[in-house]
Homo-oligomer: A and B are copies of this chain.
């Protein structure tokens, strides 16, 4: 088992969905990802919080095995704040407010103890910061990065620099289309792979996710849920589950990557069942295993029977 380096936002979120509304709850990409990853491997978190960030949230992360030596606390500053509202189908969201606060000047200096990290997840954050973190780890084995439309629009060069250095790029479908400047996802994947990453994962929300490698494609559906409450953090929980799984196995072969996506899908399904970390907090390994196995059953189909296969060949 290896540790997982996770860098990203640690935030307070105000979120409104058709199923409820919460104010200034704990969120942020690094928080979701670390909570998810810690089910399998110890995270090393890199981030910054203000004096308003609840100590109990940090205590919770620590209690689940996260190393918080890389979390800076600016007592007289305010935490990154995001506020958004989701549409009735939870497929689209509108950002109402973003306050960078202490996150705006974030210039992470990794603790010496983090420098041997081999598994890294660079959550959505300015690409220059992602690059600065990569500069401080010398012996990486597998690096995943996320991004967002803002950096594609405003920091494309820096972003492409990061993409050339990571093993796996994680994008949602809209971001992939935007980055590759084509509506066709398969074509977009080919273009993004040409930017450098060995692997690409395209997140499709309720439609699942797709892994593209040089040789093949893997697709996994989302875990079907009749009671999605808040999609915030789903992608980061998915990513955290993936990198946690890979670090635990200490193996990034193709089949391990596929399994890591099933694991991430199972964990992400818990994240969306409640606001903030409430869904993840009550989700244990037996539930992960149950949903992992359910996903396997959900996609299985047999080979064509012998007679039909013969007809196909002889046509």
Contacts and interface: CB of A to CB of B under 8 A. Distances in A.
B226 A219 contact: no
A259 B224 contact: no
A194 interface: no
Q: Number of copies of this chain in the oligomer?
A: 2
Interface string A185-227: 1110010000000000000101110100000111111001111
Contacts of A226: 184, 186-187, 190
Interface stretch (A7-15, A46-54, A281-289): A281-289
Nearest to A305: B249
Contacts of A219: 208, 221, 298-299
Contact of A303 (B190, B220, B249, B296): B296
A225, A255, A289: most-surrounded residue (chain B CB, <10 A)? A289
A90 interface: yes
Nearest to A254: B301
A158 interface: no
A302 B220 contact: no
A197 to B, nearest CB: 18
A61 interface: no
Nearest to A261: B301
Interface in A220-260: 220-221, 224-228, 248-249, 255, 258-259
Interface residues of A, number: 58
A168 to B, nearest CB: 16
A44 interface: no
5 contacts: A89-B177, A89-B184, A207-B208, A285-B312, A286-B315
Given A186-B226, A207-B207, A249-B305, 11 more contacts: A185-B224, A187-B226, A190-B226, A207-B208, A208-B219, A217-B224, A219-B298, A220-B301, A258-B301, A289-B312, A299-B299
6 nearest CB pairs, A to B: A289-B312, A285-B315, A89-B183, A219-B221, A207-B207, A258-B301
